Amino acid sequence: MKRYSAFAVFREGLRYQAGWERAWRSPDPKPAYDVVIVGAGGHGLATAYYLGRNFGITNVAVLEKGWLGGGNTGRNTTIIRSNYLQDPSAAIYEKARSLYETMSQDLNMNVMFSPRGVMMLAQTEHEKRGYLRTAHANAYQGVKTEFITPDRVRKLCPIINIDGPRYPVLGALWQERGGTARHDAVAWAYARACSNMGIDIIQQCEVTAVRRENGRVRGVETSKGTIDCAKLALIVAGHSGVLAEMAGFRLPIESVALQALVSEPIKPCMDVVVMANTVHGYMSQSDKGEMVIGGGADGFNNYTQRGSFHHIEETVRALVETFPMISRLKMLRQWGGIVDMTGDRSPILSKTPLTGCYVNCGWGTGGFKSIPGSGWAMAELVANDAPGPLAAAFGLERFREGRFIDESVAAGVAH
Look up the CATH number of the domain holding residue 152.
Answer: 3.30.9.10
245 lies in the same domain as 261: no
Measured N-to-C along each axis, helices 183-196 and 87-107 cross at an angle, to the nearest 10 degrees, of: 70
* pLDDT of amino acid 409: 58
pTM above 0.85, yes or no: yes
Q: How confident is the model at residue 410 (pLDDT cuts 50, 70, 90)?
A: low
Mean pLDDT value of segment 150-171: 93
- Residues contacting residue 99 through CB under 8 Å, at least 6 positions apart: 106, 372, 373, 376
Helix 125-141 × helix 87-107 angle, to 10°? 70
Instruction: Tell me what the mean pLDDT of segment 43-52 comes to.
Output: 98
Average pLDDT, stretch 19-35?
Answer: 94
Please check whether residues 159 and 225 belong to one and the same domain: no
Q: Is 38 a residue whose pLDDT tops 90? A: yes
Q: How many domains is the chain built from?
A: 2
Contacts of 129 (CB under 8 A, 6+ apart): none
Amino acid code (one letter) for 124: T
**Domain identity same for 235 and 325:** no
The answer to the question of residue 15 being in a domain is no
Final residue before a domain boundary, out of 341, 359, 385: 341
- For residue 72, give the nearest of 100, 118, 39, 33 by alpha carbon: 39
Domain boundary among 323, 341, 359: 341
**CA atoms lying within 13 Å on the CB side of residue 411:** 29
Indicate if 265 and 331 belong to the same structural domain: yes
Does 12 fall in a domain?
no
Q: Say how far apart CA 241 and CA 28 lie, in whole Å.
A: 27
Contact 161, 321 (CB under 8 A): yes
Same structural domain, 147 and 232: no
Kindly state whether residue 411 falls inside one of the protein's structural domains.
Answer: no
Percent of the chain with pLDDT over 90: 81
Residue 152 sits in the same domain as residue 259: yes
The yes-or-no verdict on residue 411 having pLDDT over 70 is no
My answer on whether 279 and 389 are in the same domain is no
- 134 with 277, same domain: the answer is yes
- pLDDT at res. 325: 92
Mean pLDDT on 112-117: 96
The torsion region of residue 268 among left (phi > 0), alpha (psi -120 to 50) and beta comes to: beta
Q: Are residues 270 and 324 in the same domain?
A: yes
Is 296 in the same domain as 319?
yes
Does 168 lie in the same domain as 35?
Answer: no
* The pLDDT of residue 350 is above 90: yes
Torsions phi, psi for 259 (to 5 deg): -105, 155
Where a domain ends, among 341, 376, 409?
341
CA dihedral 317, 320, 321, 322 (to 10 degrees): 120
> Is 309 a member of any domain?
yes
Q: What is residue 394's predicted lDDT score, i.e. its pLDDT?
A: 97
Q: Tell me: do 331 and 366 sit in the same domain.
A: no
Q: Is residue 236 part of a domain?
A: yes
Q: Structural domain of residue 313, as residue ranges?
A: 115-179+255-341
Residue 272 included in any domain: yes
Instruction: Establish if 324 belongs to a structural domain.
Output: yes
Per-residue pLDDT tens over the stretch 238-278:
899 999 999 999 999 999 988 999 999 999 999 999 999 88
Tell me the backbone φ, ψ of residue 132, rounded to 5 degrees. Answer: -60, -40
User: Is 100 inside any structural domain?
Assistant: no
Radius of gyration of the chain (CA): 21
CATH number, residue 62: 3.50.50.60
51-100 pLDDT, tens digit per residue, is 999 999 999 999 999 999 999 999 999 999 999 999 999 999 999 999 99
Q: How far apart are CA 8 and CA 152, in angstroms?
A: 43
